[in-house]
Structures are given as C-alpha cells and as structure tokens.
Amino acid sequence: ASGTAVTLANTGGGTLNSLCGADFVQKERRLPMCVGALAGGQLGASFDGDADRIVFFVGGSESGGSDLDLLDGDKILCLLAGHLKRCVEGLGGSFGPVAFGCIQTAYANGSSTRYLEQGLGLEVVKTKTGVKHLHAAALAFDLSVYFEANGHGTVLFSPDFLRRLREAKGSGSEWAGHLLEISNVVNPAIGDALSVLLLVLAILSHEAGGLDTWRGLYADAPSRMLKCVVPDRSAIKTTNAEQRMTQPAALQAKVDDLVAGAELARAFVRPSGTEDVVRIYAEARTQEQADQLATSIERDVAAFFS
C-alpha cells in the first residue's frame, strides 16, 4: 500500500476556530481558510480547537458556494455502523448474540436514521441533546456507535464483548481480530477527532467503493433550525428525547397538524438548556417546505408566549 499523504493547514498562529474548525465547516458549509478546493478523490477533515470533534468534506471552492459535500457526524456514524455490522455478521452464529446499537439525538438528519434502521436493519436509540446522554445510552450495548451531527462521538466496546472477541481470536476468527484492532484505534472517551480520523481512513480502505460509496449512502433531508426568544423557557416540557412536548399540549397539537401537512416531514420544539429561547427544528422533502414548516411553528410558539 502507498499509504495516505496528509497536508496540514491552520495549525496555529491565529484565533482559535476562526474561519476554520469542525463547527465552521459544518454550519457554514464552507472550506476552512487556507484550504483550496479538493480535487478528485481528495478528502478533507476539520477538527475543532480541542480536537474532540471532526467533520469530513469533499470538493468546495475558494469562493464559497454550495458545492462542498459535507460528511458530518451523521455520515460518520453510518459509515462506521455499516462496517461494524458486517464485522459482527462475519463472527458467525457460533459467536453468540451481539447487542449492537446506534445512538443519535433528535437533531440527527432523518435520512441518516432511516438509513440505519431501514437500510442496515440496526437499532437506533434517540437521546437528549449532549454527548453525555449519548454515551450513557451507548453503555447498554455490547457494541455501540454514537455521534452528534457536529462530529462529536465514538465507538464503545463493552468489557464482556472484548473478552469474547479475544477468545474468538484465539480460536482463529479473523473477524474477531479485526474488531479488536478497531477497539485499539478508537478512544472510548467522549470525543477524539484524531482516533476518528484514523478509523475512518482505515474503514474506507476496507470498504468496496471507498469514498464514493460513503458519499452516496443517503441524501440529507432538507432542514431548518430556528430559535424564538421567550420570557420563560420552563413553560415547555418535553419527552421522547425532546422530540415531543408534554406541555403545552395545545402547542404540540399545532406542531402535529403542521407536520401532517408537509411531505416526509418531522419537527420538534425544545427549550434551550442555557438561555430563555425555544429551539425549533423542522425537516421536509424540500427546503421550501422545511423553511415554511419551521417559520409556521415559530409563529405558533411566539403566539403562545404573547
């Protein structure tokens, strides 16, 4: 193998995360400064300042525009989950059952969840926003992978699953050996961009189709996020990983009616954990429908608090 050539940019000397970093690339859909458009099969990766988050990207132009193909935390999760599923299947029936789970928040793009559940047949658990909630849910499985869309996440192997893998490797299982190698690459702590970078590159070298196949796993559902300043965010109570409001019930009913009127739609309203604002997320088949759904919900939230 010829190995991987790596070119570094924005390694110091400026303001931390200014016009670069995982958050900038994900939210702005723009190349980091000092990085030119990527050609052919080149893959870009952007860490945040303390290297606990990572997103990947392909293409882009120095003048901005919409030609940057973002491979965010949802896409990372789907790549890892697909490879891990094939590894578990390779262990064979004699290995015994393996509880394998994928953990996301409500902000995960709906297309990624559909791919995991319908395309891969995997169990998906939704949690409240925040990696501490994803990590806690992941501990319930033998093998789990969790990521927020911002590129914050990892893969977890339970101690008992690792023991079983070591026994299977001792009996000659190549798949068990491969999974143990993966366990040595990943960092079970919450967020290690460098380990995720190495793992993604390793998996792309194993998977047929490589980067092109990864980019084409699914198309993101158009979405819109808004926030509405309110006098008292505690008036909003939620359940089901913050995807539904228990209070006020009348406001949830209006959201349900609006969602029913749009194609391939979903939406939720949740209070901010740090400030008196209500956060609104909406998805639909088209960007126009997602924008309209979000603004209609924003209007109903503002009317409730008026």
SS3 state of residue 1: coil
- Distance between CA atoms of 249 and 13, rounded to whole angstroms? 52
- Distance between CA atoms of 295 and 227, rounded to whole angstroms? 10
If we measure between CA atoms, which residue out of 75, 97, 77, 76 comes closest to residue 88? 97
- Distance between CA atoms of 172 and 169, rounded to whole angstroms? 5
Whats the size of the chain, residue-wise? 306
- Distance between CA atoms of 172 and 115, rounded to whole angstroms? 33
- Distance between CA atoms of 250 and 179, rounded to whole angstroms? 49
At residue 10, the pLDDT reads 83
The pair of structure tokens assigned to 301 is: 């939230």
At residue 8, the pLDDT reads 85
Phi, psi of 143 (to 5 degrees): -140, 130
- Do residues 54 and 196 lie in contact, with contact meaning Cβ atoms separated by under 8 Å? yes
pLDDT in tens, 14-54: 788 888 889 889 988 888 888 877 777 789 999 998 889 99
- Do residues 17 and 49 lie in contact, with contact meaning Cβ atoms separated by under 8 Å? yes
Using alpha carbons only, what angle is made at residue 19 by residues 155 and 80, rounded to the nearest 5 degrees? Answer: 15
Enter the DSSP assignment of 32: P
If we measure between CA atoms, which residue out of 78, 71, 72, 62 comes closest to residue 30? 62
* pLDDT < 50 stretches in the chain: 1
pLDDT in tens, 185-199: 999 987 899 999 999
- Distance between CA atoms of 32 and 8, rounded to whole angstroms? 12
SS3 state of residue 295: helix
Widest CA span in the chain: 68
Phi, psi of 283 (to 5 degrees): -130, 150
CA 268 to chain centre: 18
- Distance between CA atoms of 144 and 155, rounded to whole angstroms? 6
At residue 1, the pLDDT reads 45
Is the bond preceding residue 248 a cis peptide, omega within 30 degrees? yes
